[in-house]
Structure 1
Amino acid sequence: MLLGIKNVKEIVEELNNYLADLNVFYGKLHNLHWNVEGKEFFTVHENVEKIYDKVNEEIDEIAERILTLGQRPKVKYSEYLEISNIKEIESKGYNGKEVIDVIISDFEYIINKIRNIIEKASENNDEVTADILTGSLAYYEKTAWMLNAMNK
């Protein structure tokens, strides 16, 4: 039993699905970063960049965790698009409120996804995955709160 984890394949499947979500979200954040318009441009543009930098770090951490569990992370965008619950959006102009609304909606999904993976990881004695994702959960919850405050 690898690292004492009961069901490595179940955890890796969850992590690969999450990795797909993160990669689609990462591309979506670039779209929003590049296409924000209006009086909130500077503030929103700068903050979206901070978010996608954090998501990029998390992508690497999740892929490395999958490798640590003795499996391979998914890497094809075609697979990501097939299994991700986060959807792409059109390349067009978005005002600041629209950008924040899109991000908050995806954050809500991500927060719930993380909670589900933490629960499964805990059930399978995978404390490391649960710990990694607990840190991510704290980031997404705090950032969602800040974005909601910014969007009032």
Structure 2
Amino acid sequence: MSKVTDRLNIHLADWNLLYTKLHHYHWYVTGPNFLALHAKFEELYDYAGTSLDEVAERILALGGKPISTLKQYLDQTMLTEAGKEKTAEDMLESVIKDFRTVVDSLKETGEMADEAGDSVTTDMLNGHIEELQKQIWMLTATAKGLPVKA
């Protein structure tokens, strides 16, 4: 199970980074889509907050130790911090890219959990994959016509 909890800690780091990054976008988004994106980024950081707690509690339930410092999150995340994105389009592109990265990683962890006979973790990860794929679709539809790789 330690391989699974190690991978879950990477997801914990990713969710924590997304939580902060989505707050950044929520505060700094501007332009004609401000109202919709401001609300959407808040919805997404709320989801990231719920997800990071769920992952940490699953790690604990498996007898592991969830990472819990900013340094650990930055050391283990597969994502990059916000700051370079200046436009709403940049922010959307970044979120779509991050969500795709997380989905791919969640699928790999799900396969590991399956091999370990941990269907509960697999179910949790599949729920996250389902939600992120829905959000990718919605964000891509929002960005249609913008310079975003959909």
Pick closer, same or farther for the CA change 1:76–1:112 going to 2, 3 Å.
Answer: same
Aligned length: 144
Aligned partners of 1:32 and 1:94 also within 8 Å: no
TM-score, length of structure 1 as denominator length: 0.91
Partner of 1:97: 89
Structure-2 separation of matches of 1:58 and 1:49:
14
Residue by residue over 1:59-102, the C-alpha shift from the partner in whole angstroms, topping out at 9 and shown as x without a partner, is: 01000000100121000110110111111122x77332222111
Residue by residue over 1:106-131, the C-alpha shift from the partner in whole angstroms, topping out at 9 and shown as x without a partner, is: 01101101101111100110100000
Structure-1 separation of matches of 2:109 and 2:59:
13
TM-score, length of structure 2 as denominator length: 0.92
Structure-1 separation of matches of 2:80 and 2:11:
13
Structure-1 separation of matches of 2:96 and 2:85:
18
Partner of 2:70: 77
Q: Does 1:10 align with 2:6?
A: no
Residue by residue over 1:23-54, the C-alpha shift from the partner in whole angstroms, topping out at 9 and shown as x without a partner, is: 11111111111000111100101001101101
Structure-1 separation of matches of 2:63 and 2:106:
21
Gaps of 5+ in 2: 145-150
Aligned partners of 2:89 and 2:143 also within 8 Å: yes
Pick closer, same or farther for the CA change 1:93–1:127 going to 2, 3 Å.
Answer: closer
Partner of 2:35: 42
Partner of 1:151: 143
Structure-2 separation of matches of 1:86 and 1:25:
8
Aligned counterpart for 1:115 among listed residues 107, 121, 125: 107
Shift of 1:15: 0.3
Identity %: 35
Structure with bigger RCO (C-alpha 8 Å, 6+ apart) = 1
Partner of 1:4: none
Partner of 1:31: 24
Gaps of 5+ in 1: 1-7
Task: State the secondary structure of the residue aligned to 2:23.
Answer: helix
Aligned counterpart for 1:129 among listed residues 121, 126, 135: 121
